[in-house]
Structure 1
Amino acid sequence: MRFIILVLLFVGFISCKSENPTEKKSFSEVEIQVLLQDSLLNVRALEIDNQGNFGFATSNGEIGGKDYKWGEYPDEGLPETALKTYKITHDTITPNIRSIAVTDKAAFILSIGSPALLYKASDSLKLVYKETHPKAFYDSIDFWNDNEGIAIGDPTDDCMSIIITRDGGSTWNKLSCDDLPKAKDGEAAFAASDTNIAIIGDHTWVATGGKASRVMYSPDKGETWEVFETPIIQGKETRGMYSIDFYDEQHGFAIGGDYTKSNDTLNNKIRTTDGGKTWHVVANGKGPGYRSCVQYVPNSDAQELVAIGFKGIDYSNDAGNSWNHLSDEGFYTIRFLNDSVAYAAGNKRIAKLNFK
């Protein structure tokens, strides 16, 4: 195992807030500053912590961190300021990592496929959960607080796979299907951008996709669950919600479509204003087609959204009713540092985005 100068590691920045959060603004362009470009780079796992440090992991088993302590690993004599990653291997397996979560105490790295591997990185890198079911496939991970977290995956039985920790990520337990809504035929999730889970306080929303695309909801940090239907396009394995985000307990947005028909704009953008109980199609036949990630712009009163995918970057300042295509540059996932700066990652590169 060795450090590889491939991926920019956790970088610290100071977050700033809008002087007037209620003032309506509109972005008309995005400046893209490429931070790292490499032909072997493929990143769908990206996260920013409370201090503004961001980190990510790759499909080639690499994790990185600067100003965030992943653990004590040999650096092969590289200077401390060097950009480097640490490559994870498990037996002969190089994990394909699609999900990251960070707390104030640790970082968590979750791979797709079987065996599913979940690592906790603090003073050391430790495997804290392994699932060998042949259908194991985890899509996303998030935390309510430093002690309690959740990861979701495709069904291995007759419900979505959900694992939960209550002890800071040291141990994880899989919920019984007796305690979860039953999955429909062909219902699963997409490991496209690590945004299948949205958390506001104790409230949790999980977006499923495929032949059925619904929203699972828990008001109490995963203790109890119910499920809500959505009108997003579904019915085939490649359709449904690919990303969900909530601004507050009432306002949420989800986007997706069919990645094999990426220009189609019908029924691929939905919005809720009642906490996810009911969803409505917006901008039908207009705006972006398939996108893998959507995020609310901070301090925007649930009005501003940015959606990205391999077909480009789109922006709305009216809660998704209309959209402005800002760039053809493609990314898989995005996280906002503040209300005008974000970091995005995708195929062959990671970039800083300045919205203007």
Structure 2
Amino acid sequence: MRIWTCLFLITAFLSCKEDEKPVKTKITSVEIEEIYSNSALSIRAIDIASDKSIAFAANEGAFGLYNPQTEQWITGKQDYDSLNLEFRAVARTLNDFFMLSVASPALLFKTGEYGTMEVVYKEDHEKAFYDAMTFWNAQEGIAMGDPTDDCMSVIITRDGGETWNKVPCDKLPKIKEGEAAFAASNTNIAIVGNRTWIATGGKTSRILFSEDKGMSWQVFDTPMINGEGTTGTYSIDFYDENKGFAIGGDYTKPDDTKANKMRTADGGKTWQLVSDGAEPGYRSCVQYVPNSDGKALVAVGIQGIDYSIDSGDTWQHLSDEGFHTIRFLNENVAYAAGQGRIAKITFK
């Protein structure tokens, strides 16, 4: 286990909020600047904290933190017994760094007292496979994964990540046959205030919803493509309590464009297909552009970067460069990660 006691010190001086500006009404191109490269890594989990630092975790036990103002990286490699750890979920609060491994045993690491990464949750189950993690606030966080019983796996912390407890299945909606989730981009969970949405996929693709930070749950059906183990919703985002968007498809058929994009205007209770039969096809991540009134969206995947200015009705293909996941720093700059790299994306 590598000690990195200075992990968070480099970001202490960063400002917590930038002046808000309206999003550009028309984007015609992107500038892609690679800021991290490691050909051995497939990076599907990144997060941006309120201090603007960028965290990532990946396969080979790799993880790191980037300060965009100093352009400095602190990276590490996490060991646990003889396991070759793969991380597809990461979260960053102002004070702590969290990363969650896939497969069994599921291991959730948190920054320890002396800067090391310490296990705060472990789950030994042959079906354990966690897909995404995020926080409501500095004290309360949530992670979700594939079912090990007759419900989706959901774990929650209420003490800043020191302890995590699995929500019992009698508190969650029962799964349908073949329902699971995809660890494609760490965006299976969306949060606005106390409200939380979780996207499932596979032979059934639905939305789990909680209005009280995971204390109670409902489930809503969707028109997203389903029926196979590789179909369904791969990513979900909400602009506010009502406006939400989800994207997916079938990663084995990335050119298919039917029933892979959907939108809600009532907080996820009902969903409507948009741009049905039109590009883009399969994408692993979608995010709202900040300060866009819920009209501007960016989607990324192995076949490139796409942009919508009309809430997803039509899309413009901006780049063929493939990424797994993306997060916005502000309305004009985002960070994206994919095979072997992390890049700064400037929208022009």
Letter in 2 for 1:61: G
Correspondence for 2:83: 93
Q: Tell whether the 8 Å contact from 1:115 to 1:132 is kept in structure 2 after alignment.
A: yes
Correspondence for 1:176: 168
Change in CA separation of 1:82 and 1:52 when aligned onto 2, cut-off 3 Å: closer
Query: Shift in Å at residue 16 of structure 1?
Result: 3.7
SS for the counterpart of 1:152 is strand
Correspondence for 1:121: 111
Q: Tell whether the 8 Å contact from 1:232 to 1:269 is kept in structure 2 after alignment.
A: yes
Correspondence for 1:73: none
Correspondence for 2:58: 58
Q: Aligned runs of 1:223-234 on 2, under 5 Å?
A: 223-234=215-226
SS for the counterpart of 1:289 is coil
Q: Distance in 2 between matches of 1:321 and 1:97?
A: 34
Q: Tell whether the 8 Å contact from 2:52 to 2:67 is kept in structure 1 after alignment.
A: no
> Among 141, 151, 155, which residue is 2:133 paired with?
141
Letter in 2 for 1:260: T
Whether 1:31 aligns to 2:31 is yes
Query: Shift in Å at residue 95 of structure 1?
Result: 1.2
Q: Tell whether the 8 Å contact from 1:342 to 1:353 is kept in structure 2 after alignment.
A: yes
Root mean square deviation, CA, Å = 2.1
SS for the counterpart of 2:215 is coil
Q: Distance in 1 between matches of 2:233 and 2:71?
A: 40
Q: Distance in 1 between matches of 2:80 and 2:135?
A: 25
Whether 1:282 aligns to 2:274 is yes
Q: Distance in 2 between matches of 1:30 and 1:58?
A: 25
Q: Tell whether the 8 Å contact from 1:3 to 1:84 is kept in structure 2 after alignment.
A: no
Q: Distance in 2 between matches of 1:109 and 1:217?
A: 23
> Among 297, 303, 306, which residue is 2:295 paired with?
303
Letter in 2 for 1:57: A
Structure 1 residues 60-106: Cα deviation after superposition (integer angstroms, max 9, x where no partner): 111112459xxxxxxxxxxx997442111111112100011111221
Query: Shift in Å at residue 2 of structure 1?
Result: 5.2
> Among 317, 339, 342, which residue is 2:309 paired with?
317
Q: Distance in 2 between matches of 1:254 and 1:345?
A: 19
Q: Tell whether the 8 Å contact from 2:248 to 2:260 is kept in structure 1 after alignment.
A: yes
SS for the counterpart of 1:261 is coil
Change in CA separation of 1:3 and 1:127 when aligned onto 2, cut-off 3 Å: closer
Correspondence for 1:216: 208
> Among 137, 156, 176, which residue is 2:148 paired with?
156
Q: Aligned runs of 1:247-258 on 2, under 5 Å?
A: 247-258=239-250
Structure 1 residues 139-189: Cα deviation after superposition (integer angstroms, max 9, x where no partner): 001111111111101000000001111111111111111111000000000
TM-score by length of 2: 0.93
Q: Distance in 1 between matches of 2:47 and 2:89?
A: 9
Whether 1:189 aligns to 2:213 is no
Once superposed, which parts of structure 1, at least 4 consecutive aligned residues long, lie more than 3 Å away?
1-4, 10-19, 80-84
Letter in 2 for 1:91: D
Q: Distance in 1 between matches of 2:49 and 2:199?
A: 23
SS for the counterpart of 2:41 is strand
Correspondence for 2:100: 110
Q: Structure 2: which 5+ residue stretches go unaligned?
A: 5-9
Matched-pair identity in % = 57
Query: Shift in Å at residue 224 of structure 1?
Result: 0.3
Letter in 2 for 1:118: L
Q: Distance in 2 between matches of 1:105 and 1:135?
A: 32
- My pick for the range that moved more, 91-100 or 252-261, is 91-100
> Among 321, 329, 335, which residue is 2:321 paired with?
329
Query: Shift in Å at residue 25 of structure 1?
Result: 0.6
Change in CA separation of 1:302 and 1:289 when aligned onto 2, cut-off 3 Å: same
Q: Structure 1: which 5+ residue stretches go unaligned?
A: 5-9, 69-79
Query: Shift in Å at residue 296 of structure 1?
Result: 0.1
SS for the counterpart of 1:114 is coil
Q: Tell whether the 8 Å contact from 2:66 to 2:72 is kept in structure 1 after alignment.
A: no
Q: Aligned runs of 1:8-27 on 2, under 5 Å?
A: 16-19=18-21, 21=22, 25-27=25-27
Correspondence for 1:339: 331
SS for the counterpart of 1:168 is coil
Q: Distance in 2 between matches of 1:229 and 1:93?
A: 38
Correspondence for 2:7: none
